[in-house]
Structure formats: structure tokens, C-alpha cells
């Protein structure tokens, strides 16, 4: 039987509705608190980045977050970006700061991300927030990276409360943005977690042991059906643009959707799977940051 397709768009819409309701209730109980506010720093005019920023601003407006971009020219250097972050850090009316990646090569991305006030780091990339995540702090107290948060929510919906406990999970990819924090969240959910990466001796054999497989490597269709344990849940984080025969292009994941879907029990599509959950996870973090700063 073909795998059930996990509808990330519907799940994200439901999550955004929950966050909007929570914001409305919290603002009613805190009449003197300002509206939750997010500022997205975008350097340059990269079309994909502009599209992401526009989506974040639109979704924020729909759920009660003042979300706006603070665009900076392509030639912005590290010092200028750090100065802008310092200004936002000091502004009590701004509760979340996000630097849209990638940054120009001339900008020191590590210095920029480290400069964000951890309390306003709604991307969850600051070393202090990463340390809290890997130390096992309760999820309610965390600003964790948005994509892994979205993946975890999809998995919790699949397996129910406590349903992840004891499952074997393999995360393919070890980035600080997805792979490592995803492994930490799954470990906190009592999964037995392995990270596969470019130096793993036999990643296919490892993946075939996984009840849950999370793919986050950035290689189109790298994971075929013969990597999948029958009945496993596959979460495909990859977003890769590939050429079409007609000269156009289309988006595909890190997983061969058709081949894996013939074996897996459930699978996320690309697009329409993890992507919408990332933005919803960001709004969850903005709300959490605002609550902590206005308590």
C-alpha cells in the first residue's frame, strides 16, 4: 500500500491557528504589553530570500505578530549589521530578531548570529539556546530551530502523546540548523537516535533500521526506496531545485518520493511538507519570546 502523504500545509495552518489563539488570549490578560514584534534582517535582494521574508511578514500579520523586514543593501558589512542588531536588541518593543540566511560571503555569519540577544533569537541558533536544547531543557522553555520544531510537531501528530518513546530514529545530515537540533529534540522525546553523515560507512543500511527517517542533506533524491524500512515515517527536509526537460525547474526533496512512498508508512512531500511548518514554528518562537519578555 502506498505511504500516506503527510499534509504539512494543513498541519501548519492548524498550528498557526493555535498560536494566534494563544497570542489573543495572552494579550487580553496583558493589556499593557505591546504587540509581539518580529524584525527580519535581509541583506541584499536574493529573490528566494525575499520570498521567504515576505511569507514570514504575511503569516505574522495573520496571527497577530508585527512582522516586518529590515532590508539592508548588498554591500552591508559585518560592522553595520552588528550595529543594526545591537539597536534591535536594545529596543523593548522588538521581541524577535531573525537574520535571513545565507548572508553575503563578506559578512561574518557566526559573529552576526552570536550577537543576537538569546531572548530574541527566534531562529534558535545562538550558542546559549543551542546549549539549552542539547542539555535537555523542557521544550516549553526553549527557542529551538524552527524547522526541527516543525518536524517534531508532524511526528507527534503521527504517533500521538508519548508515541515516539523507544522508536529508532535516523537523521541524515548533521548541520547546526537541522540535523543536530533534530537529533536533540528526538532524543528528548525518548527516541533512540543516530545521525548519518558524509562519513557514515553504510548510510543505507543504517536508514533501513529506522522507524523514523529525517532527511536533511541538500542532495536531490539521494535517499531511494531501498533505504526505507517498510512502514517507516519519512520526514523530508530537503528543498532542491532541479531542471525539467522542458527547460524549467521544479522542487524535489532529499528523498525519492515515489520510490520511498512505495515502502514507507507515511511521508512528507516536497513542496507542501516541512516548509510550511518552518514558518509556523517561527511564529511559535516569536510568541514564546514575547511571553518571556513581557511576563
Active-site positions read 56, 100, 123
Query: Concatenated DSSP letters for 187-202?
Result: HHTT-EEEEE-TT-S-
Q: If you compute the radius of gyration of the chain from its CA atoms, what whole number of angstroms results?
A: 19
What are the Cα distances from residue 88, in Å, to 8, 37, 286?
32, 11, 14
- The answer to whether residues 154 and 269 touch, using CB atoms and an 8 Å cutoff, is no
d(CA 158, CA 41): 35
d(CA 214, CA 178): 10
Residue 175: all three cell numbers together? 548541520
d(CA 103, CA 107): 6
d(CA 216, CA 178): 7
Residue 211: all three cell numbers together? 522507524
3-state secondary structure of 284: helix
Query: Concatenated DSSP letters for 51-119?
Result: HHHHHHHHHHHHHT-EEEEEEE-TT--HHHHHHHHHHHHT-TT--EEEEPSSPPTTS-HHHHHHHS-GG
Amino acid at each position: 500500500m502506498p505511504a500516506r502523504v503527510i499534509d504539512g500545509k494543513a498541519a501548519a495552518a492548524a498550528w498557526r491557528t493555535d498560536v494566534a489563539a494563544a497570542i489573543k488570549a495572552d494579550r487580553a490578560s496583558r493589556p499593557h504589553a505591546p504587540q509581539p514584534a518580529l524584525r527580519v534582517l535581509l541583506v541584499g535582494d536574493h529573490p528566494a530570500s525575499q520570498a521567504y521574508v515576505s511569507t514570514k511578514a504575511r503569516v505574522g500579520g495573520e496571527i497577530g505578530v508585527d512582522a516586518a523586514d529590515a532590508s539592508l543593501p548588498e554591500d552591508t558589512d559585518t560592522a553595520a549589521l552588528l550595529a543594526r542588531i545591537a539597536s534591535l536588541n536594545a529596543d523593548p518593543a522588538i521581541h524577535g530578531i531573525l537574520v535571513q540566511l545565507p548572508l553575503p560571503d563578506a559578512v561574518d555569519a557566526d559573529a552576526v548570529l552570536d550577537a543576537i540577544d538569546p531572548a530574541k533569537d527566534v531562529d534558535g541558533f545562538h550558542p546559549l539556546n543551542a546549549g539549552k536544547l542539547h542539555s535537555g531543557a523542557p521544550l516549553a522553555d526553549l527557542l529551538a530551530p524552527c524547522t526541527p520544531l516543525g518536524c517534531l510537531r508532524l511526528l507527534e501528530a503521527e504517533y500521538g502523546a508519548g508515541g515516539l518513546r523507544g522508536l529508532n530514529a535516523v537523521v541524515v545530515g548533521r548541520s547546526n540548523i537541522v540535523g543536530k537540533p533534530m537529533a536533540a529534540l528526538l532524543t528528548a522525546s525518548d527516541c533512540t537516535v543516530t545521525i548519518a553523515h558524509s562519513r557514515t560507512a553504510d548510510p543505507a543500511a543504517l536508514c533501513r533500521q529506522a522507524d523514523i527517517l529525517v532527511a536533511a542533506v541538500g542532495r536531490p533524491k539521494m535517499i531511494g526506496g531501498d533505504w526505507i524500512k517498510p512502514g517507516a515515517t519519512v520526514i523530508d527536509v530537503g528543498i532542491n531545485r532541479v531542471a525539467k526537460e522542458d527547460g524549467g525547474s521544479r522542487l524535489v526533496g532529499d528523498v525519492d518520493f515515489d520510490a520511498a512512498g512505495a515502502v514507507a508508512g507515511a511521508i512528507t512531500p516536497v513542496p507542501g511538507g516541512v516548509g510550511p511548518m518552518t514558518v509556523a514554528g517561527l511564529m511559535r518562537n516569536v510568541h514564546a519570546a514575547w511571553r518571556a519578555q513581557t511576563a
